[in-house]
Amino acid sequence: MVTRGFTGRRPASEVADRIPPGQSLTADFPVLSAGPTPRVSLEDWSFTLKVGPRPVKRWTWEAFNALPQTSVTRDIHCVTKWSKLDTPWQGVLVDDLLTDAGIEPPTPFTLAHSFDGYATNVPVADLVGGRAMVATHYDGRPLTPDHGGPARLLVPHLYFWKSAKWINGLQFTERDEPGFWELRGYHIYGDPWREQRFSGD
Ligand SMILES: Nc1nc2c(c(=O)[nH]1)N[C@H]1C(S)=C(S)[C@@H](COP(=O)(O)O)O[C@H]1N2
Ligand SMILES: [Mo]
């Protein structure tokens, strides 16, 4: 008898190995937002890199899209307990943003900021080395507004609340400063494999 995985394409054991503790597979793509979806026109869109309060580089939509493009396929894990395998994204690696800005990370921590006022903290080590991007496309199409379009952060190895939708900037901070959910009881780091859902986990 042939054993089939949930997807019908992979052995069940291989799929199981990719699902962190307490998570379940989903085939669709749930939308989770703390508030209404901000509508950002591409003319008004910009992305600013800051060191503390000081802006060091700003890209318009046109300039941003002229940066090197990278495609990745990654598994994602939401703290509300769904995981989705093999999600395909395209965008600009944080590495390529830093190269274009001509800076080395000046501090070990960042806050990602969004057009809806949302913020989330991510250590620099989790953003560089090809581990994170500012994504503009999902599954070959421009990112829809509900999923964070025009652009969102993608840090797939951390719980998905770290992947800030409607991102408009990245700020280097001296300390690991809690963002929106981290101030409301969620874990400061959020590693799904260590099940770091809430502070104290
Ligand atoms: N700006 C912003 N980014 C956000 C959120 C938000 O409310 N505002 N929600 C977070 C949470 S809790 C999750 S699980 C994911 C959901 O992304 P999705 O709606 O594309 O599934 O976005 C994260 N990024
Ligand atoms: Mo979430």
Q: What is the pLDDT of residues 110-160, one digit of tens each?
A: 999 999 999 999 999 999 999 999 999 999 999 999 999 999 999 999 999
Atom of ligand 1 nearest to the CA of 115: 1
Taking the centre of ligand 1 as the mean of its atom positions, its distance from the CA of residue 136, in whole angstroms, is: 15
Token pair in block for residue 166 = 């409607």
pLDDT digits (tens, 9 = 90+) for 63-115: 999 999 999 999 999 999 999 999 999 999 999 999 999 999 999 999 999 99
**pLDDT above 90 coverage of the chain, percent:** 93
Cβ partners under 8 Å of residue 116, min gap 6: 33, 34, 35, 36, 37, 38, 165, 166
Burial of 69 (0-12, 13-18, 19+ CB in 10 A): middle
Helix ranges (DSSP H) in the chain: 12-16, 61-65, 94-101
Which atom of ligand 1 is closest in space to residue 30's alpha carbon? 21
Counting every residue written for the chain, the total comes to 201
Nearest CA to 159 out of 82, 74, 77 is that of 77
Cβ(30) to ligand 1 under 6 A?
Answer: yes
| pLDDT confidence of residue 1 | 45
- Spatial neighbors of 90 by CB under 8 A, at least 6 apart, are 69, 70, 71, 72, 135, 136, 137, 138, 140
pTM (two decimals): 0.95
Ordered by start, the domain boundaries in the chain are: 48-169
Residue position matching structure tokens 């508030």: 35
| Dihedral over Cα of 96, 98, 101, 104: its sign | negative
Q: Which ligand is nearest to the CA of 115?
A: 1
State the CATH class of domain 48-169: alpha beta
How many other C-beta atoms can be found within 10 angstroms of the C-beta atom of residue 157?
16
Query: 82: CA distance to ligand 2 center in Å?
Result: 9
Asked whether 66 and 86 are in contact (CB, 8 A), the reply is no
Ligand 1 centroid–CA 166 distance in Å is 9
